[in-house]
Amino acid sequence: MLKSLKFVSYIIFLCSIYSISYSQTLGLGRAATNNEVSAWDIDIRPDGKGLPVGSGSVIIGEELYTDNCSSCHGDFGEGIDRWPELAGGFDTLDSEDPVKTVGSYWPYLSTVWDYVHRAMPFGNAQSLNNDEVYAITAYILYLNDLVDEDFELSHVNFEEINLPNEENFYLDNRENLENTTYNNRCMQNCKKVAMITKRAVVLDVTPEEDMTENNNLDKNDNIQIASFDPNLVKEGEKVFKKCKACHRIGLDAKNGTGPHLNNIFGRVAGELRDYKKYSKNIKKLGQEGLIWNNETLISFLANPKKYIKGTKMNFKGIKKSDELDALVEYLAASTKIN
């Protein structure tokens, strides 16, 4: 991404030199103005070089994100339809279906800032000012549990933020590698026929509308739906997409930003043993007897922060009663995992 932008800037630079050197002889072109060059030279580097002066808080970023980003990326970075997920996906990169988000995969925060600034919102690129980009970037960090809700991102503290997957990226050394490895290319004893021995595994690409009623859930989930309304469960699975950025459900489900939801019905609130990120209040309520059932889940999912003050669950809630009923039916149907 950054290399492409630098290449374009380089071309403009060459064009400006060309126009200065040859315009008198060919009568073509002119030198690029400073404003024209600066309009292209907007890339932000991993070391923070190129960052403009500015700042933005998580709180302001939430409002801006809702207005400019949520229609594609979901209220909480969970992604809508085929638009990319921005949050969640922790501990999935070594799985068959990795979820590559800012929190799980991206290497540098500068890439986030640069991309939001240069290409977003979709269809209205570069309409956000610098402070707004800082605020949205801060909110994306918050969605990935990388900062607290009172955090403010600025050009001053920008370099202090390191994304979790940064250490797994390395500099591209193909130029040097090819010079040392492929100078003496061997073209002897080559195979006569090239055979395909493996194929890429692509999951979750079939539209749900094409799935039959008897196969309305992901086979990998191995979810039992007997005695439940299959149509309602199917609708609930669609609603559950709003939860996938943080929660998983199914046979191989693991904890992510939020706890896995296998066997959620009948579970004491805040007492999943291998999940360590519960808020103090949810643990306290669990100790006082809060158990997840149809009634408590509906109340919580309708407005999490109102039902449990201080909850770390960054979700505004599901306002439509039919979606709530469908989601709870789906969770109930998924409560027993083989």
Structural domains in the chain, sorted by start: 1-41 (no CATH), 43-168 (1.10.760.10), 215-333 (1.10.760.10)
pLDDT above 90: residue 164: yes
CA distance 228 to 129: 50
Residue spans of alpha helices (H) in 150-210: 174-181
The pLDDT, as a whole number, for residue 14 is 59
The pLDDT, as a whole number, for residue 75 is 86
Report, as an integer, the average pLDDT of 231-252: 83
pLDDT above 50: residue 211: no
For residue 121, whether the previous peptide bond is cis, meaning omega lies within 30 degrees of 0, is: yes
The pLDDT, as a whole number, for residue 214 is 40
Kindly give, in sequence order, each residue whose CB lies less than 8 Å from that of residue 99, ignoring residues fewer than 6 positions away: 85, 88, 89, 92
Mean pLDDT, the chain, whole residue set: 80
The answer to whether 99 and 88 have CB atoms below 8 angstroms apart is yes
pLDDT above 70: residue 4: no
pLDDT above 50: residue 317: yes
Greatest distance between any 2 Cα atoms in the chain? 87
The pLDDT, as a whole number, for residue 209 is 43
C-alpha distances out from residue 147 to 113, 162, 231, 300, 331, Å: 16, 11, 39, 24, 30
Report, as an integer, the average pLDDT of 216-223: 40
The pLDDT, as a whole number, for residue 101 is 94
- This prediction's pTM: 0.49
C-alpha distances out from residue 158 to 133, 136, 153, Å: 12, 13, 6
Query: With pLDDT > 90 as the criterion, what percentage of the chain qualifies?
Result: 26
